[in-house]
Structure 1
Amino acid sequence: MTVTETNRAAEIRQWPALWALCLGFFMILVDSTIVAVANPAIMENLGADINSVVWVTSAYLLAYAVPLLITGRLGDRFGPKRLYLLGLTLFTAASLWCGVSGSIEMLIVARVFQGFGAALMTPQTMAVITRIFPPDKRGTAMGLWGSVAGVATLVGPLAGGVLVDGLGWQWIFIVNVPVGVVAFLAAVRYVPTLETHEHSFDIPGVILSAAGMFFLVFGLQEGNTYDWSARIWLMIALGVVLLGVFVWNQSRNRNEPLLPLELFRDRNFSLANIAITSMGFAITSLVLPLMFYAQAVRGLSPTGSALLMVPMAVLTGVLAPNVGKLVDRAHPRYIAAPGFLMLSVSLVWLAAVMNPHTAIWELLLPIALMGVANAFIWSPLAATATRNLPQHQAGAGSGVYNTTRQVGAVLGSAGIGALITSRLAANGVPDTGTAHEGTASVMPDFVVDGFSSAMSQSVLLPAAVLLVGFVASLCFSRPVRGGVQPDAVAAADSRGPVAG
């Protein structure tokens, strides 16, 4: 096959491959948020307390976040398609396990396996996009990827509400099985088998990064549950120290480090990681006070409260692919920076109208603006981060990018939980349990104003953190024209698709 024929075949396979990957990626991200609305039903059905049910989400986030640096490098070594299919199989099987769990302990264990499957899959999606799309089309591809990322994190609560109200909490997991089967068949058929790169694995780096990430993520995720005790702060400090030792170890590794620090010499890669951390923080933290307000203050059902997010999800999904096309032609700072500013403004606006007597349509206006802002953020960040990645480090770079996003999400979860507790106390709201259990009953009249104020004040935290992303994206430099070219090797095979 000539180079021209290979490139033509690769062109034909690019978009089906992207759609196949996006299907699995969508399923992963939905599962990051879908459980929140089902917690009361899980507690009632399995006879669990609030501390136990928190672990249903915490176990998933821990198993998802901790291995990302390692699984990104594994994709470089053994092939992103193989790792993606392995992760998808594990994720789908664990989803069925979650759905048939008869105890809270079994459900937590199943969620660990589900999170690990997600960790195997996630870095491979960005790595494949980086390797099969040329730089001048990567923005369009990342636009689609970004729309999936933006919409999925918002669809989770909506899908969770509908499934819990209609079929029961088990179906928020069981629904993944047919979707996973379709995603697997699509990946086998359309995702190309790309050239692998020989890597010697940095065992000390693997141990230090995994241990550091575990202690840091666990401490941040569970800090509020344990009232930020000395043991939690010790755990966070240990995580930071271990990660510091990990970075020092990587700088002295003269063979092949797990984390190639030269990636951060690319200014845009470093800035995009800062920006996506603030985005992960904001998206995770904004949903909790809004759902508490909708259910406890306004008396909406889980489905009704999740429907508030529809304008945001729809506008993000519609606009993000078009924004992606713009990314290929315009300076990323002129797209991402306005997006961050719009999102911050929309949250301040939302906080201003979150009171017990606001008309629903007044809430939908800032939520719609959030959808527009979302569309202007995901694609430029992903395209800017990956544009100049060397082909043999696509998996490592993708692992770093997704790790920082996930750490941002954990920070957001921990930060908003602590702030809500603090604001409830400051507004004179007694610990009635309503906020913690997410019940759909309206708060008693004597505390409704204070509770509403606490939720609206909490929304200002993600609004402030987004300004970090705004400043980082303002500092983007114009990407070099051309950038790193994609892999044409085995992107298409004249004999047809090759399974991982």
Structure 2
Amino acid sequence: MTRSAPALRLGTVHGRGTLLAAVLASGMVFLDSTVVNVALPRLGAELDATVAGLQWTVNGYLLMLAAFVLLGGALGDRFGRRRVFLLGVVWFTVASLLCGLAQSTEWLIAARFLQGAGGALLTPGSLSVLQASFHPDDRGRAIGVWSGLSGVSTAVGPFVGGWLIDALSWRWIFFLNLPLAVLVVLAALRWVPESRDEAESRTRGPGRRRRFDVAGALLGALALAGVTYALIDAPARGFDSAPVLVAALVGVAGAVAFVLVERRRGDAAMLPTGLFGSRLFSVLNVFTVLVYAALGGFTFFLAVYLQNVVGWSALLTGLAMLPTTVLLLVGSARAGALSARIGPRLPLTVGPVVAAAGLVLLRGIDPDASYWRDVLPGVGLFGAGLTLVVAPLTASVLAAVDDRYAGVASGFNNAASRAGGLLAVAALPLLVGLSGTGYAQPGELTGAYRGAMLWCAGLLLAGAALAALLIHRPARTAPGGQPCPSLPASTPPDRR
């Protein structure tokens, strides 16, 4: 029989060690999520990558994370949270090493797929370890410290990553994970207690534990992969080519099969379809896809444009994107408190409009742009708008469903945000006519960048309209209106 995890106190050695392991592990994921976009021009030039290669470098990771993050959390509950957490850390680290050693675009993309799978085990594990290990009186403080320090890692990511890219190589943004992982593994083995979910086996009885919804996870991945491949490959092969048509059909068929399988499994499904009986929950997740699609498109195009057209270094590019993260760190709690007082509709309507105004300003950046005059105002507006969105959105998602579905609802909303970024990075180059090595041609990239900013602004305005018309105050609110750590309250990230 598995013993329950001891109730750790934050002031003890074991409590601090457990918190250290969780913070460093999530920090690896958040750090990578903020700096890969900054590295795209350098790794593209060194590996002779096309636009499609850059898209898959970002999307291979996002695809695996979006498809399997819910399954990763369930594996921890069943087989032991520390065990699955450590597996995720080792898996993610080995994949990071393979990313750093990549000698071709295909090698790097394959390694990024593996890295995303490791992240799907690690990301839910870092938080569930804290939730299961700490005494109820210290649990909130521990999660708050985790959220704050993880946010700091996201904030310093562009600076540290940009410096590594300029001083050493883009490969070091992946190699940096190796020493961090060693510290995580040592801390976890020494201080993190093992825990698992025993409630289900007690209620169901011996031999009646719920089976994993592997079919749902695989069908979800197949749907996302098919649509993504079709969007990325269409510029090179044409919409009427056999591979593109087959991929699109596979994606659509996978999505239909996913819905049918989840409906048949009922409450045993990875994503119980009963959740969508709440109109508010459904609307909030459509809103999430729109907003995070805009965020994904913005970060993908801005990082490449600032380096390949404006001529900035990777370090300066990382610093240019820093205000958005800082505003999220400083303002998310206040935005959550405001939403708790007045309801989510106003913040979720005004926030995307402000962010869209920032993207319209950023659209006008020219090759001799000044940071203070041309970049900071737009980035600042975008960050301010996003700050109004993240905490109210997360609190509203959690309040829109019964408490027993809080974990699934948060996980699905996390996956929806990643899927939004995934689809934006896949579709935007197609929509703005960027393909081949056009990202390295300033003239071609400029037109594509400006078109992409308009598309992203349009997505935000669509989200604002959705919020104004269909989002209302939930019947209950999450305590304090604080953002759930599994959502990128600082991501640009782990939600980037």
What TM-score do the two structures reach when normalised by structure 2?
0.76
Pairs aligned (count): 456
- 3-state SS of paired residue (1:376): helix
C-alpha distance 466-180 of structure 1, shift in aligned 2 (>3 A): farther
For residues 361-397 of structure 1, give each alpha carbon's deviation from its aligned partner in whole angstroms, at most 9, with x where no partner exists: 1221121122222222222222222346566645433
Distance in 2 between residues matched to 1:25 and 1:316, nearest whole Å: 18
Number of the residue aligned with 2:109:
108
Contact map agreement 2:347 2:389 (CA 8 A) in 1: yes
Distance in 2 between residues matched to 1:432 and 1:203, nearest whole Å: 36
Q: How does 1:159-198 map to 2 (within 5 A)?
A: 159-184=160-185, 189=191, 193=195, 195-196=197-198, 197=200, 198=209
Moved more, 178-187 or 241-250: 178-187
C-alpha distance 8-58 of structure 1, shift in aligned 2 (>3 A): closer
Q: How does 1:77-476 map to 2 (within 5 A)?
A: 77-124=78-125, 145=147, 152=154, 158-184=159-185, 189=191, 193=195, 195-196=197-198, 197=200, 198-202=209-213, 204-224=215-235, 226-230=237-241, 231-253=243-265, 256-326=268-338, 331-351=343-363, 353-356=364-367, 358-362=369-373, 363-387=375-399, 393-421=405-433, 433=437, 435-437=438-440, 443=442, 447=443, 452=446, 454-474=448-468, 475-476=471-472
Distance in 2 between residues matched to 1:380 and 1:157, nearest whole Å: 26
- 3-state SS of paired residue (1:60): helix
Which segments of 5 or more consecutive residues in structure 1 lack a partner in the other structure?
1-5, 423-430, 484-500
Distance in 2 between residues matched to 1:51 and 1:461, nearest whole Å: 19
Distance in 2 between residues matched to 1:460 and 1:123, nearest whole Å: 34
Distance in 2 between residues matched to 1:126 and 1:267, nearest whole Å: 28
Which segments of 5 or more consecutive residues in structure 2 lack a partner in the other structure?
1-5, 201-208, 480-496
Contact map agreement 1:87 1:117 (CA 8 A) in 2: yes
Contact map agreement 1:32 1:61 (CA 8 A) in 2: no
Contact map agreement 2:56 2:109 (CA 8 A) in 1: yes
C-alpha distance 167-311 of structure 1, shift in aligned 2 (>3 A): same
Distance in 2 between residues matched to 1:192 and 1:10, nearest whole Å: 17
For residues 90-147 of structure 1, give each alpha carbon's deviation from its aligned partner in whole angstroms, at most 9, with x where no partner exists: 112221232234555543333222111012223445667888899xx98996898499
- 3-state SS of paired residue (2:433): helix
Q: RMSD of the TM alignment (CA)?
A: 4.1
Distance in 2 between residues matched to 1:384 and 1:276, nearest whole Å: 11
C-alpha distance 138-346 of structure 1, shift in aligned 2 (>3 A): farther
C-alpha distance 93-295 of structure 1, shift in aligned 2 (>3 A): closer
What TM-score do the two structures reach when normalised by structure 1?
0.76
Q: CA deviation at 1:470?
A: 2.3
Distance in 2 between residues matched to 1:79 and 1:269, nearest whole Å: 30
Distance in 1 between residues matched to 2:186 and 2:341, nearest whole Å: 34
Contact map agreement 2:297 2:424 (CA 8 A) in 1: yes
Number of the residue aligned with 1:477:
473
- 3-state SS of paired residue (1:34): helix
Q: CA deviation at 1:174?
A: 0.7
Q: How does 1:32-43 map to 2 (within 5 A)?
A: 32-43=33-44
AA matched with 1:476: H
Number of the residue aligned with 1:497:
none
For residues 307-363 of structure 1, give each alpha carbon's deviation from its aligned partner in whole angstroms, at most 9, with x where no partner exists: 221222222222224434555555233433332222122212322x32345533122
Distance in 1 between residues matched to 2:113 and 2:447, nearest whole Å: 36
AA matched with 1:437: A
C-alpha distance 271-316 of structure 1, shift in aligned 2 (>3 A): same
Contact map agreement 2:236 2:436 (CA 8 A) in 1: no
Contact map agreement 2:127 2:143 (CA 8 A) in 1: no
C-alpha distance 90-365 of structure 1, shift in aligned 2 (>3 A): same
Number of the residue aligned with 1:488:
none
Q: CA deviation at 1:28?
A: 1.9
C-alpha distance 359-32 of structure 1, shift in aligned 2 (>3 A): closer
AA matched with 2:166: D
For residues 9-60 of structure 1, give each alpha carbon's deviation from its aligned partner in whole angstroms, at most 9, with x where no partner exists: 5999999977864543343244245333334543555566665565443433
C-alpha distance 390-18 of structure 1, shift in aligned 2 (>3 A): farther
Contact map agreement 1:52 1:104 (CA 8 A) in 2: yes
AA matched with 1:161: G
Contact map agreement 1:147 1:378 (CA 8 A) in 2: no
**Identity across the alignment (%):** 30
Distance in 1 between residues matched to 2:52 and 2:339, nearest whole Å: 44
C-alpha distance 275-124 of structure 1, shift in aligned 2 (>3 A): farther
Moved more, 53-62 or 274-283: 53-62
Number of the residue aligned with 1:486:
none
AA matched with 1:462: C
Number of the residue aligned with 2:488:
none
Distance in 1 between residues matched to 2:144 and 2:159, nearest whole Å: 24
Q: CA deviation at 1:205?
A: 3.3
Contact map agreement 2:28 2:177 (CA 8 A) in 1: yes
